[in-house]
């Protein structure tokens, strides 16, 4: 097999591997609302926290598992390490609440 053909095959194989084992889930904060308010993920998945507001927001787990700060107009990523149903909120705007269910 010539090296010219090997690379695309490896890329496709890697793509399949990644999609089976971990996903990226986007959760956005816009106009002081977290959406989706209920999201499901698995341990190992990446959450892409998208802050569309001009204010700082946090995703603060009530059980203390994580506390992520999103500067205005920025996207922050975090990898889920623990399973559970996690209720979280924004420390600066406590009305912003949501739930993330993380399967093992
Ligand atoms: Cu906030």
pLDDT per residue as tens digits for the range 13-69: 656 655 567 999 999 999 999 999 999 999 999 999 999 999 999 999 999 999 999
| Rounded distance from Cα 84 to ligand 1 centre (Å) | 23
Q: What is the Cα 78 distance to its own chain's centre?
A: 6
What spacing in Å lies between the alpha carbon of 82 and ligand 1's midpoint? 24
Q: What average pLDDT does this structure show over 58-84? A: 97
Distance 102 CA to ligand 1 centre (A): 22
Q: Shortest CA distance to 23 belongs to which of 51, 43, 49, 50?
A: 43
For residue 41, the cross-strand partners are 102
Q: How far apart are CA 101 and CA 46, in angstroms?
A: 13
Residue 10 has a pLDDT of 60
Distance 32 CA to ligand 1 centre (A): 6
Ligand 1 centre to CA of 5 (Å) is 49
């Amino acid at each position: 097999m010539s090296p010219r053909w090997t690379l695309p095959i490896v890329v496709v194989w890697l793509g399949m591997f990644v999609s089976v084992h971990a996903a990226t889930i986007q959760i956005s904060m816009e106009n002081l609302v977290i959406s989706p308010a209920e999201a499901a993920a698995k341990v190992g998945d990446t959450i892409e926290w998208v802050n569309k507001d001009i204010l700082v927001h946090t995703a603060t787990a009530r059980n203390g598992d994580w506390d992520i700060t999103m500067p205005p107009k920025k996207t922050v990523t975090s990898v889920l390490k623990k399973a559970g149903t996690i209720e979280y909120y924004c420390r600066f705007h406590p009305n912003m609440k949501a739930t993330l269910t993380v399967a093992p």
